[in-house]
Structure 1
Amino acid sequence: MTKERIAIGLEGSANKLGVGIIRHSEGQPAEILANIRHTYITPAGEGFLPRDTAAHHRRFVVQLIKEALKKSGLKPKNVDCICFTQGPGMGAPLQSVVIAARTLSLMWNKPLVGVNHCVGHIEMGREITGATNPVVLYVSGGNTQVIAYSHRRYRIFGETLDIAVGNCLDRFARTLMISNAPSPGYNIEQMAKQGRNYVSLPYTVKGMDVSLSGILAYIDGVANEMAAGKVLTAENGDRITREDLCFSIQETVFGMLVEITERAMAHVGSDQVLVVGGVGCNERLQDMMGIMAKARGGAVYATDERFCIDNGIMIAHAGLLAYETGFRTDLVQSACTQRFRTDEVYVAWRND
């Protein structure tokens, strides 16, 4: 008889609330039984505040859990463990989801498994793409890291020194008053496709790390000048447009990310790149990374929006991998944390 394990995963570290249910069967690929998500969207020009985001999660979490159980055709008795994002992330939204996970654990009499958000992204990306031992570029609204696995840890080779790439793009979208639906980063990507003229921006790579706050401040200044009526022209005489600015910020920050990722590949001798996190859905980033990887005789691996953007299934999958090694999170140790480093996690399920 094939040994099966089933986990439900709850994710709510930012403005996406996700609930996923996954089945692991010995010797078989993971089976996704449900992957439900609801996003808190604010008006153009506004970000999402922790308090309001937490209220959104509290409002919808029970509904999403019920939908996930219905879609999977399972009952609580079929679930082996309750997995939840323990960090990193925004404190109030994380706390809302942690409370939901604790409640399920007590109601269903099932063990808790706290999951590192980044490790969830990595393990889901590896499962979906089949990447074996890649250098990982983790790019999202709150995180920017270049990572490689070694000796049961995901080691951080480089990262942002200030703001994350997703936060940089989101904040620039607010400056341009771009819609937050479905996401500001997606809308910048679509506008960038219409851009034709590159506006020179600061390029700040410091060893294996990047700095993005100066780039954001500079391009915000350019955008504000344009909004005030100043006409800016490119070298060819064309008038600079909002689309050109979106194109330019993408080309600059993505070029920086490609550079540090290639350096990490050279250091560890890998020919695979796995791009994870919400910004990993960006087609231009995937294209630029693919060009670099191909030149090195390698390949880039990425997933679509179902798995790139924060979701519950990645938490269920990573949590179940840990659960199968005997890992449990006691109720008294289930507090969430805004700072949970990727390299703090002992990756007991890998021995390569």
Structure 2
Amino acid sequence: MFCLGIESTAHTFACSVVQYSFYQNRLIGKILSDARDIYVPPTGSGIHPRDASRHHCKAVETVFKHALCSAKVSMRDIDVIAYSAGPGLGPCLRVGAVVARTLSAFHSKPLVPTNHGIGHVELGIMISRAKDPLVLLVSGGHTAILAFSGKRWRIFGETLDITLGQLFDQFGRSLGLPSPCGHEIEQLGRKAAGNYRLLPYVVKGNDVSFSGLLTSAIRSVHNKSKELSLGEISFSLQETSFAMVTEAVERALSLTLKNEFLIVGGVAANNRLAEMLKEACKRQKCKFYRCPAELAGDNGAQIAWAGILEYVGKGRHVQVEKAFINQSWRINDVEVIRN
């Protein structure tokens, strides 16, 4: 059986085909294709929702055909269609929803709206085979510490303002870097590793706040009297923000007594963050899992797998005319049937 997943929450339009079956009464999945086209905004500027949605409209045909071709299937083989219903940018979400509704209506396939954050988490669990982990979801749209309880992913800590991905993107744009900026900032930081400069550190319980850190880092860039290199500021920005997140994660591990930890989302690709979290897991005698870098960012496979869990686990799908998007759909509002 096959599911087509359609992702369009922000800068990425993606389609993926995931095959699913049962083995020893357990649902298993296999990613057959992963096709994406990423909107790149003008240098020094962020994602404009309307511009990104126009990009997605142009990318639909190529990405869709590539996904089916790579998986060696046709729409006749697809059993269910899943799409990202939120959270995300409204114009971008609407592109994916329209494509999914059109395919569902034309080919008479069940339609499943999915939560983008659930997709990140559940795909990471499928790949890592972790059983009951504490999860750190870090991306441009999320910064949250999660644990599963009572059929929902419960939030044990989150950002109080901007996300970790937004911190790097907004800082990078102040330097004139193209979005997303995380990789470039990681490279800048490596050049000045060890040259730490004090920046604001804000942890409140298990929650973190990055806005003051961002303001201070941007001011340091433009304050020539300090004579700090971009590398030193980038390194210090990473070290400070990652230490904040790691502190909150370690506190949550101590509280929940979990013996597994998983990091997912686009920022999971950052090696320095992974190093710091590994050390925290060692101190807590906890297994460390990490979503592979190639699947850490937004992709269609996460939507397909989340759709499979919804469709197979709960038998849930919607009529085409009742399909929806929700720009502010929180992950803890979704009831999940675990595999």
Q: TM-score band, normalised by the shorter chain?
A: over 0.9
* Residue 187 of structure 2 corresponds to residue 198 of structure 1: no
* Residue 185 of structure 2 corresponds to residue 185 of structure 1: no
Structure 1 residues without counterparts, runs of 5 or longer: 233-238
Give the distance between the partners of 1:113 and 1:223, measured in 2 at CA. Answer: 46
For residues 251-289 of structure 1, the C-alpha deviation after alignment (integer angstroms, 9 at most, x for no partner) is 011111111111111111102211011011100010000
Determine if contact 2:40/2:178 at 8 Å carries over to the other structure.
Answer: no
Counterpart of 1:20 in structure 2 is 16
Counterpart of 1:263 in structure 2 is 251
TM superposition score normalised by structure 1: 0.92
Matched positions, count: 334
What secondary structure, in the 3-state scheme, does the structure 2 residue paired with 1:77 have?
A: coil
For residues 120-167 of structure 1, the C-alpha deviation after alignment (integer angstroms, 9 at most, x for no partner) is 001100011111111100000011100000121100111111111100
Give the distance between the partners of 1:191 and 1:143, measured in 2 at CA. Answer: 24
Give the distance between the partners of 2:147 and 2:80, measured in 1 at CA. Answer: 28
Give the distance between the partners of 1:214 and 1:334, measured in 2 at CA. Answer: 39
* Residue 182 of structure 2 corresponds to residue 164 of structure 1: no
Q: Name the amino acid aligned to 1:16.
A: T
Determine if contact 2:199/2:213 at 8 Å carries over to the other structure.
Answer: yes
Q: Note the 1:102-117 alignment, pairs <5 A.
A: 102-117=101-116
For residues 166-191 of structure 1, the C-alpha deviation after alignment (integer angstroms, 9 at most, x for no partner) is 001000001111244xx411111111
Of 319, 333, 338, which residue of structure 1 is paired with 2:327?
A: 338
Counterpart of 2:78 in structure 1 is 79
Structure 2 residues without counterparts, runs of 5 or longer: none
Q: Note the 1:80-95 alignment, pairs <5 A.
A: 80-95=79-94
What secondary structure, in the 3-state scheme, does the structure 2 residue paired with 1:243 have?
A: helix
Counterpart of 1:317 in structure 2 is 305
Counterpart of 1:328 in structure 2 is 317
Counterpart of 2:215 in structure 1 is 217
Give the distance between the partners of 2:306 and 2:249, measured in 1 at CA. Answer: 24
- In the TM superposition, what is the alpha-carbon distance from 1:29 to its structure 2 partner? 3.8
Give the distance between the partners of 1:158 and 1:329, measured in 2 at CA. Answer: 32
Give the distance between the partners of 1:272 and 1:245, measured in 2 at CA. Answer: 33
For residues 53-106 of structure 1, the C-alpha deviation after alignment (integer angstroms, 9 at most, x for no partner) is 000111101211111111111111111111000100111101111111101101
Determine if contact 1:88/1:341 at 8 Å carries over to the other structure.
Answer: yes
Determine if contact 1:322/1:349 at 8 Å carries over to the other structure.
Answer: no
Counterpart of 1:40 in structure 2 is 39
Give the distance between the partners of 1:349 and 1:197, measured in 2 at CA. Answer: 45
TM superposition score normalised by structure 2: 0.96
For residues 15-55 of structure 1, the C-alpha deviation after alignment (integer angstroms, 9 at most, x for no partner) is 01111100012117411111111111123211110000000
What secondary structure, in the 3-state scheme, does the structure 2 residue paired with 1:30 have?
A: strand
Give the distance between the partners of 1:242 and 1:26, measured in 2 at CA. Answer: 52
Larger deviation: 43-52 or 285-294? 43-52
- In the TM superposition, what is the alpha-carbon distance from 1:306 to its structure 2 partner? 2.0
Give the distance between the partners of 2:305 and 2:329, measured in 1 at CA. Answer: 18
Determine if contact 1:88/1:117 at 8 Å carries over to the other structure.
Answer: yes
- In the TM superposition, what is the alpha-carbon distance from 1:335 to its structure 2 partner? 1.6
Q: Name the amino acid aligned to 1:313.
A: A
- In the TM superposition, what is the alpha-carbon distance from 1:322 to its structure 2 partner? 1.1
Q: Note the 1:112-151 alignment, pairs <5 A.
A: 112-151=111-150
Give the distance between the partners of 2:61 and 2:108, measured in 1 at CA. Answer: 17
Q: Name the amino acid aligned to 2:271.
A: E
- In the TM superposition, what is the alpha-carbon distance from 1:119 to its structure 2 partner? 0.5
Counterpart of 1:69 in structure 2 is 68
Determine if contact 2:112/2:307 at 8 Å carries over to the other structure.
Answer: yes
Give the distance between the partners of 1:24 and 1:152, measured in 2 at CA. Answer: 22
Counterpart of 1:6 in structure 2 is 2
- In the TM superposition, what is the alpha-carbon distance from 1:349 to its structure 2 partner? 3.5
Q: Name the amino acid aligned to 1:208.
A: N
Give the distance between the partners of 1:169 and 1:273, measured in 2 at CA. Answer: 24
Moved >4 Å (runs of 4+): none
Counterpart of 2:240 in structure 1 is 252
- In the TM superposition, what is the alpha-carbon distance from 1:6 to its structure 2 partner? 0.9
Determine if contact 1:197/1:240 at 8 Å carries over to the other structure.
Answer: no
Give the distance between the partners of 1:271 and 1:187, measured in 2 at CA. Answer: 33
What secondary structure, in the 3-state scheme, does the structure 2 residue paired with 1:78 have?
A: coil
Larger deviation: 170-179 or 282-291? 170-179
Give the distance between the partners of 2:259 and 2:233, measured in 1 at CA. Answer: 32
Counterpart of 1:101 in structure 2 is 100
Give the distance between the partners of 1:349 and 1:158, measured in 2 at CA. Answer: 22
